Amino acid sequence: MARDAIVAEELTYRYGELTAVDHISFNVAESEILGFLGPNGAGKTTTFKMLTGQLKPKGGQARLLGMDVMKNVEKVQGEIGVCFETTNLYEQMSALENLNLFARLFGMRSFDGNALLERVGLPGRGKDRVETYSKGMKQRLMVARAILNRPRVLFLDEPTAGLDPTSSETIRNIILEERERGATVFLTTHDMLEADKLSDRVAFMNQGEIVALDTPHQLKQQHGKRALKAKVAGDDGGLEDREITLDTPETPEAVRKLFSQEKVITIHSEEATLEDIFISLTGRGLV
């Protein structure tokens, strides 16, 4: 059984009167990808900051790799990689200079920046100043910086937000490669499809609390409904829609009737999305 890489126990943070994170508890196993979802202001970034040692919790405890984050902050930070939501690179420096700077801060004696740039899809651009890069290139460089120390826990805050499909795909592949290497990934995102595709489990956060935490499949099973959607020939020669809810006692009879009594033109099954589930749990959207 995999050990826990991240453990949050009753983690709490308040900004004055406002409780941004309210006694949340969860754990993330080694080599697991946890998708951390929630609308703006839900407390995701505050949680992210407490787990990475940037904010001291007002209550509860965060442990990474068995260490109390606040008591061993520098040791913990030596084992993690962090990719921020907003670009925070040294723009007047080249990509290689950026990477070499952080490699030195992590105390890495041998480091091949060019190989890393090639891995994130930026071959041959190492000597160019970052200010000349496009948004997608900068984001790929941010991911490269986050993984350069081969972190045991990788924190990614909206790594593909606003990116073109190619850049997004490159970053998703890197996340999966890092997981394969053995890294635990804490992924904050608004992108439901991305979370569904990448995450082993997802946590829904709303108003400072975790309202659901499970695998995407289980969440859909528990909170969503599956349906068959069909288009049948209508009496006037046009097409009419039919929908049959799956997983109910009436489903077999309804399916039999559909095929015996109607002329089915197209039929497909449809699952609830994570966004549907989030809305059903919280009564609000993700943005």
Partner 1 sequence: MNWRIIGTLVAKDFSLFFRNKLFAALTAIAFIFYIVVYFVMPSTVNENLEIGLYSPVTLPVFTGMQEEGLEVETVASEEALKEGVIEGKYVAGVSLPADMMEKLASQQKPTVSLYFTPDVPQEMKDTVALIIRELAYLQTGQPLNIEVTEEILGPDMTGTPIPPRDRLRPLLAIMILMVEMMGLANLLSEELERGTVHALLVTPMSIKELFIAKGITGTGLAFGQSVLFMLLVGGFGGGPLIILIALLLGAVLVTGVAFLISSVSKDFMSVLAWSIPAFIILMVPSFSILFPGAITNWIKILPSYYLVDIVHRVANFGSGWGDVWLNLLILLGFCLVITWLGIFFLRRRVR
Q: Report which secondary-structure segment, H or E, holds 258.
A: helix 251-261
| CA torsion through residues 66, 67, 70, 74, sign | negative
- Please give the structure tokens belonging to residue 216: 């995407």
Please state the closest distance from residue 52 (CB atom) to partner 1, in A.
5
Name the residue type at position 63: R
Name the residue type at position 156: L
Among 7, 80, 153, 202, binds partner 1 (CB under 8 A): 80
Among 71, 75, 217, 257, binds partner 1 (CB under 8 A): 75
Among 17, 74, 235, 241, binds partner 1 (CB under 8 A): 74
Among 45, 47, 52, 189, binds partner 1 (CB under 8 A): 52
Nearby residues of 201 by Cβ (< 8 Å), 6 or more positions away: 28, 32, 33, 34, 35, 213, 214, 215, 216
Q: Which of residues 88-117 bind partner 1 (CB under 8 A)?
A: 88-93, 101-102, 104-107
- Please give the structure tokens belonging to residue 220: 């859909």
Please state the closest distance from residue 106 (CB atom) to partner 1, in A.
6
Please state the closest distance from residue 19 (CB atom) to partner 1, in A.
19
Pattern of binders to partner 1 over 157-176, x per CB under 8 A?
Answer: --------------------
**Whole-angstrom Cα distance, residue 266 to residue 11?**
50
Helix and strand totals (H; E) in the chain: 10, 13
Among 43, 53, 136, 159, binds partner 1 (CB under 8 A): 53
Question: Could you tell me which stretch among 5-13, 34-42, 71-79, 172-180 binds partner 1 (CB under 8 A)?
Answer: 71-79
Cα R_g (the chain), whole angstroms: 23
Summarize as ranges the residues that interact with partner 1 (CB under 8 A): 52-55, 73-75, 77-78, 80, 82, 84, 86-93, 101-102, 104-107, 145
